[in-house]
Amino acid sequence: MSLTPVLLGLGSNVRREPHLHAGLDALAELLVDMRCSPVFESLAVGYKGDNFYNLVVAGDTELPLTELDRRLKFIEADNGRYAPDRKGLPLDIDVLLYGELVGNFHGLLLPRAEILKNAFVLWPLALLAPTVRHPAADASFAELWAQSTIDQQLWPVPFQWRGAELTPPELVRAHPPRCA
């Protein structure tokens, strides 16, 4: 079976670091050549609650889209996403791009609309995959970020996973929090 490049968005606003670590560990089992963007903290958008940590993951998968999405739901469930008494959003994982697919695939709209609507998706994409082109907007993620007028507050935060610093210290220094 051939490999398909994927971009996934991750977010958490409950025990953010442990849930993102768990999500990344699980994704490392599903993806080949997995790479992570810097991690950003943002105010909750479209959701009441504490600030979120967000990042984007790139990699390749042998899994068909529906199977990948099913496994992502299991990872979310393992982290309390669907618990009836949950507070906040422990772990959210969204398929942003799956190859160059455009359209509705069993209820999964690709590319995911949040790419162009939310800075906490577009900025990490611009840093992780600057030359990758959005298949519907016909522009690279770096170009889209440079042209963006999204008005959301977010800032890079120090974050380590498996001993590696995902967010470069110079990025954190260059973009201090505008609010906390």
**CATH number for position 52:** 3.30.70.560
Helix %, strand %, coil % of the chain (to 5): 30, 30, 40
3-class state of residue 148 by DSSP: coil
180 within a domain of the structure (yes/no): no
Confirm whether pTM is higher than 0.75. yes
CB-CB contact of 120 with 45 (8 Å): yes
Distances (CA, A) of 149 to 39, 87, 114: 21, 31, 14
Q: Is residue 179 part of a domain?
A: no
Tell me whether residue 120 is in a domain: yes
| Enclosing domain of residue 150 | 4-174
Domain count, the chain: 1
Is residue 130 in a domain? yes
> Which pair of tokens denotes residue 38?
């810097």
- Structural domain includes residue 94: yes
Q: Are 22 and 79 in contact (CB under 8 A)?
A: yes
pLDDT surpasses 60 at 180: no
Summary mean pLDDT of the chain: 93
State pLDDT tens for residues 60-101: 999 999 999 999 999 998 887 776 777 778 899 999 999 999
